[in-house]
């Protein structure tokens, strides 16, 4: 341990990383520098700075990465319509490669010997952080306290915090261990407490970004999103920066109870895990993106994207954002988005997002003169369909004759 002189800790100021900060100082007897990424989690940032200073940290890095997070990580992921296991919009997963990148960059800048994180030895985040770190610096030393110490429960963490006078926000009115939470501009996740029982309904006061859909406004709201090369660029006619647009969608979606998810997922480390997620803006954005693609993408390109998406989702979920295969897939995905331009109208109402219109002035492949149920004036010869059907049925007709 004596060869470690300086550590950069990914620090949120929550229970886990507050305990880890003190534990690293005691165990490694070295300087610990904290790094807190502002990914849109809100007022936790100043609290994190104050708690780090109170713990004797001399150097803290708190960086506003909101625009980079949405522009270079969230948007590229959404160009692929990425969802994991049919439901999860990967709000935690997509934040980890950016945090890993900055950890490595800060470690190089201040000549630190190691980086550290608060991910448990049971979870996915340890894999995501460390795969990313090794991809960017193959020689970096990584300290994962959850794999070294004996504080293997949240109650033990609370006891350690009490003994060492570490302030902890319980974040729950009923006492006991707080939820294990992760928040950023894309989502909030909740794990732990009674959520560990997959049969137990989430407590209504747990949710933070969204109102209960049953208590959402009785009047629907219509919004319009404009896309350029697959990315949303304006909301209701107002051009916005990526992080500003997502924040606005979060506010609108939250007001209408959109984006709640209760999921049992398959972790990369092998176990099943129950978590609850709030992703209001992302839920709206995914619906809108698929709508604009529906009129601007060639059929086979769209179907190819749908075939590749689960693999792309798994790469992000499992921590392979910086891998060559993810980058190769991203190149293909981005190429498909060149003509994904236009607008989508959506109706928000009591937890639901409904597409009510879409158009592209320059790139729509929807040809009304061919698709019409009225007289198409010869644009499409319906007699051609007979040969098309017979040729496609040929192999099945031959097989049927053999069976006879």
Q: Bridge partners of 239? A: 234
What is the C-alpha separation between 369 and 388, in angstroms, rounded?
Answer: 21
Which tens digit of pLDDT belongs to each residue from 301-321? 999 999 999 999 999 999 999
What is the C-alpha separation between 191 and 274, in angstroms, rounded?
Answer: 7
| 3-state SS string for 186-220 | CCEEEECHHHHCCCCCCCHHHCCCCCCHHHCCCCC
Q: Bridge partners of 141? A: 114
Which tens digit of pLDDT belongs to each residue from 13-25? 888 899 999 999 9
In CATH, what number does 6-76+90-179 get?
Answer: 3.40.50.620
Which tens digit of pLDDT belongs to each residue from 224-243? 999 999 999 999 999 999 99
Domain 188-359 has CATH 3.90.1260.10: yes
- Contact criterion met (CB below 8 Å) for 308 and 336: no
Give catalytic residue positions.
16, 96, 125, 180
What is the C-alpha separation between 366 and 93, in angstroms, rounded?
Answer: 36
What is the C-alpha separation between 172 and 119, in angstroms, rounded?
Answer: 22
**Up-side HSE of residue 3: CA atoms within 13 Å toward CB?**
3
Q: Which helix (H) or strand (E) element contains residue 35?
A: strand 31-38
Give the mean pLDDT of 270-283.
97
Q: Which of 277-281, 316-320, 337-341, 367-371 has the lowest mean pLDDT?
A: 367-371
| pLDDT over threshold 90, residue 152 | no
Looking at 2-95, list the stretches that DSSP marks H as alpha helix, in order from N- to C-terminal side.
15-28, 44-54, 66-69, 75-78
- Contact criterion met (CB below 8 Å) for 192 and 179: yes
What is the C-alpha separation between 352 and 78, in angstroms, rounded?
Answer: 19
What the block records as the tokens of 109 is 């800048």
| Band of pLDDT at residue 47, cut at 50, 70 and 90 | confident
Residue 93 has φ and ψ, to the nearest 5°, of -55, -45
Which tens digit of pLDDT belongs to each residue from 79-99? 999 999 999 999 999 999 999
pLDDT at 170: 57
What is the C-alpha separation between 123 and 147, in angstroms, rounded?
Answer: 11
Give the mean pLDDT of 175-198.
89
Q: Which of 346, 355, 349 is nearest to 255 (CA)?
A: 349
What is the C-alpha separation between 80 and 125, in angstroms, rounded?
Answer: 22
Q: Return the SS3 of 290.
A: helix
Mean pLDDT rounded to a whole number for the chain: 95
Helices 299-318 and 280-296 cross at an angle (nearest 10°) of 150
**Is the pTM for the entire model greater than 0.85?**
yes
Other C-beta atoms within 10 Å of 391: how many? 9
């Amino acid at each position: 341990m004596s060869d470690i002189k300086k550590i950069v800790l990914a620090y949120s100021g929550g229970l886990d990383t507050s305990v880890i900060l003190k534990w690293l100082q005691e165990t490694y007897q070295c300087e610990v520098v904290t790094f807190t990424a502002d990914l849109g989690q809100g007022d936790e940032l100043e609290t994190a700075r104050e708690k780090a200073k109170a713990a004797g940290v001399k150097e803290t890095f708190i960086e506003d990465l909101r625009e980079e997070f949405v522009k270079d990580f969230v948007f590229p992921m959404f160009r692929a319509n990425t969802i994991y296991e049919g439901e999860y919009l990967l709000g935690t997963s997509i934040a980890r490669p950016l945090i890993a990148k900055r950890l490595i960059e800060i470690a190089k800048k201040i000549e630190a010997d190691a980086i550290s994180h608060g991910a448990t030895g049971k979870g996915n985040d340890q894999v995501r952080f460390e795969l990313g770190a090794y991809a960017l610096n193959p020689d970096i030393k990584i300290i994962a306290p959850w794999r070294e110490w004996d504080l293997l429960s949240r109650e033990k963490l609370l006891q350690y915090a009490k003994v060492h006078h570490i302030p902890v926000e319980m974040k729950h009115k009923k006492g006991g261990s707080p939820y294990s939470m992760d928040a950023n501009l894309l989502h909030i996740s909740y794990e732990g407490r009674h959520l560990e029982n997959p049969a137990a309904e989430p407590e209504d006061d747990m949710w933070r970004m969204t109102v209960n859909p049953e208590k959402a406004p009785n009047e629907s709201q219509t919004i319009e999103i404009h896309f350029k090369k697959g990315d949303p660029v304006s909301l209701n006619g107002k051009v916005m920066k990526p992080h500003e647009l997502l924040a606005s969608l979060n506010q609108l979606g939250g007001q209408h109870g959109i984006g709640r998810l209760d999921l049992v997922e398959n972790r990369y480390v092998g176990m099943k895990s129950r978590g609850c997620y709030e992703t209001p803006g992302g839920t709206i954005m995914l619906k809108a993106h698929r709508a604009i693609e529906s009129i601007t993408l060639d059929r086979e390109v769209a179907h190819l994207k749908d075939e590749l998406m689960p693999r792309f989702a798994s790469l992000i979920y499992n921590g392979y954002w910086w891998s060559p295969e993810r980058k190769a897939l991203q190149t293909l995905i981005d190429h498909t988005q060149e003509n994904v331009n236009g607008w989508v109208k959506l109706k928000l109402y009591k937890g639901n997002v409904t597409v009510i219109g879409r158009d592209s002035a320059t790139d729509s492949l929807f040809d009304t003169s061919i698709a019409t149920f009225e007289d198409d004036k010869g644009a499409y010869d319906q007699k051609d369909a007979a040969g098309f059907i017979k040729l496609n049925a040929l192999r099945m007709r031959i097989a049927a004759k053999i069976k006879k």
